[in-house]
């Protein structure tokens, strides 16, 4: 599998959530295959200020109800588009785990955190099939434009559940079936399918009304 789990997840021209998980068999045309080995080049797309108009990071962060001191994982963090927002939300006493499958993205994330003095951000590489979250270790997981790249999503959802503290939640942000950009239509996943997959992983799932113009937000809670 060579689709980096995070890189495309935040781009207006490439499929967001270019995290490193291959598509499952419910996509008859096969997985989207991308590598994101040159992070500085991808940053021009992923961190384009024009992205704010449709990604609406302020609204996404507000929907997550993050409190100071929380631990938040950004799965498929790419070049770190959401990291400044998450860093501010958790505060000095919190932690942001910026996770990606692409080594050059993790290198870039580490350098960005140092450059922008995001002292509570920790970048790490993770394998394609495991978020590598310690049991009951995080309060929130953010997965932007990446869920459609993950294979065996029901099992993956179970691993996310195990990594959550009781009362914690996973937030999946991805493109609607009729979005004007994002991955090819046959690689998109409907919000109700995401809810079923999170539910199969042991989470209590529902859609969140956020008003994003191109995307939905599905939350799965560990009760």
For position 110, what pLDDT does the model report?
97
10-residue averages of pLDDT along the chain (223 residues): 38 35 37 53 76 96 98 97 98 98 95 98 96 98 94 97 98 97 92 98 96 97 97
CATH number of 74's domain: 3.40.50.150
User: For 83-101, what is each residue's pLDDT tens digit?
Assistant: 999 999 999 999 999 999 9
Q: Is 193 exposed, middle or buried (0-12, 13-18, 19+ CB in 10 A)?
A: middle
For position 172, what pLDDT does the model report?
98
Q: Distance (Å, rounded) from C-alpha 135 to C-alpha 150?
A: 21
Strands 95-100, 71-75: parallel, antiparallel or unpaired by DSSP? parallel
For position 17, what pLDDT does the model report?
38
Q: Distance (Å, rounded) from C-alpha 14 to C-alpha 24?
A: 19
> pTM of this prediction?
0.85
Distances (CA, A) of 130 to 86, 115, 156, 157, 173: 22, 29, 7, 10, 19
User: For 49-92, what is each residue's pLDDT tens digit?
Assistant: 999 999 999 999 999 999 999 999 999 999 999 999 999 999 99
Question: In the chain, how many domains are there?
Answer: 1
Q: Which two tokens stand for residue 209?
A: 């009304």
For position 37, what pLDDT does the model report?
57
DSSP state of 140: E
Specify whether the CB–CB gap between 154 and 64 falls below 8 A.
no
Q: Strand runs (DSSP E) across the chain, as ranges?
A: 5-6, 18-19, 71-75, 95-100, 121-125, 138-144, 164-175, 204-208, 215-221
Specify whether the CB–CB gap between 63 and 171 falls below 8 A.
yes
Which residues form the domain of 114? Answer: 5-221
């Amino acid at each position: 599998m060579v689709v980096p789990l995070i890189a495309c997840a935040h781009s207006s021209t490439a499929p967001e959530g270019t995290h490193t998980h291959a598509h499952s068999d419910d996509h008859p045309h096969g997985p989207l295959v991308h590598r994101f080995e040159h992070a500085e080049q991808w940053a021009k797309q992923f961190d384009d200020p024009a992205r704010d108009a449709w990604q609406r990071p302020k609204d996404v962060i507000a929907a997550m109800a993050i409190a100071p001191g929380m631990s938040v994982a950004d799965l498929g963090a790419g070049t770190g588009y959401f990291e400044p927002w998450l860093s501010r939300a958790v505060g000095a006493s919190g932690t942001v785990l910026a996770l990606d499958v692409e080594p050059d993205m993790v290198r870039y994330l580490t350098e960005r955190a140092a450059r922008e003095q995001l002292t509570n951000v920790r970048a790490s590489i993770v394998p394609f099939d495991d978020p590598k979250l310690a049991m009951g270790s995080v309060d929130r997981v953010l997965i932007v434009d990446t869920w459609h790249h993950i294979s065996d999503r029901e099992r993956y959802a179970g691993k996310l559940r195990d990594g959550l503290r009781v009362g914690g939640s996973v937030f999946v942000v991805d493109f609607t079936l009729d979005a004007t950009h994002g991955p090819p239509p046959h690689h998109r996943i409907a919000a109700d399918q995401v809810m079923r997959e999170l539910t199969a992983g042991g989470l209590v799932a529902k859609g969140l009304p956020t008003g994003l113009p191109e995307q939905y937000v599905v939350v799965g809670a560990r009760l």
